[in-house]
Amino acid sequence: MTETNEPFFSVHDLVVRYDRVLAVREVSLACPAGSAIALIGANGAGKTSTLRAITGLVRPAGGEIRLEGTRIDGLAPAAIAACGITMVPEGRHVFPLMTVRDNLMMGAYLRRDAPAIRADLARLLDRFPRLAERINQQAGTLSGGEQEMVVVARALMARPRLLLLDEPSLGLAPKIVADIAGLILSIIRDDKVSVVLVEQNSRMALRLSHHAYVLETGRIALSGPSALLAEDDHVRRLYLGAME
């Protein structure tokens, strides 16, 4: 097999338009296997549009998206999901009238390995004891933190190779945010899943990721190792609050 320097996942000069509005302008990023990258920036900077283009929910107006060197831009969303890319969208979109169990099983809808599905469900319920306690409860009756656990666990039921997380801490209490941060860290470290994290909590995003990209008005204004960006004066002033 010929070795290449192609990263596990990459985006090259991505352009996203909504009619005449240019939402993403020549964005490029890369995520090594088993690593995590963060996209930070203000509302409207193009972070969610980038994720939507990766999943095929928006067709790029330009650029390339590659998984293990193979272009996936232009594929239908279901075909992209079948490649091992799963997105947890902003807003904790559970199926409110379905039970927790049925919500989790929806994550495995593309799989045909029934014994492995049952094993994964059991493993996730061990990992999320609060969901195990509420397994037959309608998901719409859960707290915000519990619903976030449902959507993340549902995504893991798909056995993703690349997990896209859009604002997982949005609207959650600080204690629950800490729980979600620990969960993301365990997904990266223990599950060996590559993660693209979009997060308004920039401090948390930089702490959890290896490399980060700062988006401003649809462009990458700054990028680099997350630990270094956390010390950058521009990033600290605009995204991390008061200087410490």
70 in a structural domain: yes
136 in a structural domain: no
Mean of the per-residue pLDDT values for the chain?
Answer: 92
User: Which pLDDT band, with edges at 50, 70 and 90, does 2 fall under?
Assistant: very low
pLDDT over threshold 90, residue 222: yes
Cβ contact 212:39 at 8 Å: yes
pLDDT of residue 32: 94
18 in a structural domain: yes
Please give the tally of structural domains in the chain: 1
Give pLDDT tens digits for 128-174.
Answer: 999 999 999 999 999 988 999 999 999 999 999 999 999 998 888 88
Give 126: exposed, middle or buried? Use CB within 10 Å, 0-12, 13-18, 19+.
exposed
62 in a structural domain: yes
Q: Any idea what the CATH number is for the domain that residue 21 is in?
A: 3.40.50.300
65 in a structural domain: yes
Model confidence, pTM: 0.91
pLDDT of residue 3: 47
**What domain range is 29 assigned to?**
9-91+161-239
135 in a structural domain: no
